[in-house]
Amino acid sequence: MTLRQYLSPLVLLTCLVHPCLAAASTPTVGDHVFLRVNVRADDRHLILSANYHADHLLPAGTEVVITEISDPVVRFQVVAGGEVYVVMNVNRDFMNITRDDLMTRLFSRDNPLAPGTPFETFTEEEKEHVLSGTVAEGMGRDAVLMAYGYPPGYQDSSLRSELWVYWDSRWSKKMLYFQDDRVVQVADAEVR
């Protein structure tokens, strides 16, 4: 079996297991890529791997250029507007994610909102939530990922978990409960 014959089924299996990771490859400095999911930045244009839901929303599908890759920083510039943002992979061991895995979660070579992508399969309500960066009962897992990003890795690295916990801030969490791959409850909780 040639390498190509071996890799084709492997790539197909990856796309079937998780369509949001289809065509994933780690970008390099100078690459023009798109945000794969909605990303939140603070007022200093800082994005943390913990996925705190700061006030500034950068929507999925935003075209960016990677300008720096170091450890633990990835810097990118938005093509339309020129704003520069810094992704900080904080507490890498605690967060259970490498810089390359974080980049694969955040960036895509193809626009995730383009025709022929999983976005097209979302319900109209799911599409509205993705575009506004919100989550609601009834959303599927892939729509939640695109709308709210990945849950922090230290919670449970499995995207098959029935509970995803996000941080809205240092003092509040948003918990999403799934049943049959759909959100059945969204609950807010204060951190003490």
What is the per-residue pLDDT for 9? 43
144 token code pair:
């939640």
How would you classify the pairing of strands 84-88 and 46-48?
Answer: parallel
pLDDT given at position 125:
98
Q: Render pLDDT for 89-130 as a digit per residue (tens, 0 to 9).
A: 876 555 568 888 889 999 999 999 999 999 999 999 999 999
pLDDT for the residue 156 = 54
Q: Which of 140, 155, 174, 133 is nearest to 39 (CA)?
A: 133
Amino acid 19: pLDDT: 45
Q: Residue 68: what pLDDT?
A: 96
Mean pLDDT, the chain cut into blocks of 10 residues (192 residues total): 42 41 72 96 89 88 96 93 91 69 93 96 98 97 95 71 87 93 94 77
What is the distance, to the nearest Å, from the Cα of residue 11 to the centroid of all Cα atoms in its chain? Answer: 20
Residue 67 to residue 28: CA distance in whole angstroms? 8
Consecutive H or E run containing 149: none
In which region does residue 118 sit, left (phi positive, over 0), alpha (psi from -120 to 50) or beta (all else)? alpha
Token readout for 120 is 């097209």
Residue 45 φ/ψ, nearest 5 degrees? 65, 35
User: What integer pLDDT is reported at residue 23 of this predicted model?
Assistant: 46
- Looking at residue 155, what is its pLDDT? 56
Best CA proximity match to 87, nearest among 55, 44, 131, 23 = 44
Q: What is the pTM of this model?
A: 0.82
> How far is 123 from 71, CA to CA, in rounded Å?
38
